[in-house]
Amino acid sequence: MEHRPGHLIRRAHQIHDALWVSQVAQASQDATPTQFAVLSVVAHLGSCDQATIARSASLDTSTAGSVIYRLTERGWLRSEPSSADRRRNVLQLTPEGEEVYLRLAAAATAMTDQLQAPLEPAERAELIRLLRRLVAGHERA
């Protein structure tokens, strides 16, 4: 099994999830990795619509919609009608959402460092390069 990429990717994901629960989720009221991805997109873009969030976070639109709904209910996102197109809503971080995002980002960085601790710096860069290539190859297909 150790020679099969799918098995190793699954094991790495399990390790990631365990580290997330033990280190990151506690930093901000049990936020999930998907919620963090959405908050990250909004934090980096400043304001955006649901379709942009879904595309940027690699989520389908229904998943993005349910995550956005939960984040809005928690008071971390604010939704307002777009001034350019009243049929669209534009999402922004609330002040509380920005605080949560900053705490999550710091905890996620520390968790990522721990996840990659067994690797040398060059190996870390190579891992990211190979994972990006793998993902990009399947996104084009």
Q: Which domains does the chain have, with CATH numbers?
A: 5-140 (1.10.10.10)
**pLDDT of the residue at 141:** 60
Closest CA to 48 of 100, 85, 103, 73: 85
* Residues in Cβ contact with 49 at an 8 Å cutoff, skipping those fewer than 6 apart: 82, 88, 89, 90, 91
Work out the burial of residue 70: count CB atoms within 10 Å of its CB; fewer than 13 is exposed, 13-18 middle, 19 or more buried: middle
pLDDT of 79-122, one tens digit each? 988 777 777 889 999 999 999 999 999 999 999 999 999 999 99
Q: What is the pLDDT of residue 37?
A: 95
Q: What pLDDT, on the 0 to 100 scale, is given for residue 25?
A: 72
Dist. CA 68–CA 35, nearest whole Å:
8
The answer to whether residue 1 scores a pLDDT higher than 70 is: no
Question: Are the C-beta atoms of residues 32 and 3 closer than 8 Å to each other?
Answer: no
Say if residues 103 and 27 touch (Cβ distance below 8 Å): yes
Decide if pLDDT at 59 tops 90.
yes
Residue 133: is its pLDDT beyond 80? yes
Residue range 3-37, pLDDT digits in tens:
899 999 999 999 999 998 888 877 777 788 999 99
| Residue 37 CB coordination number (10 Å) | 17
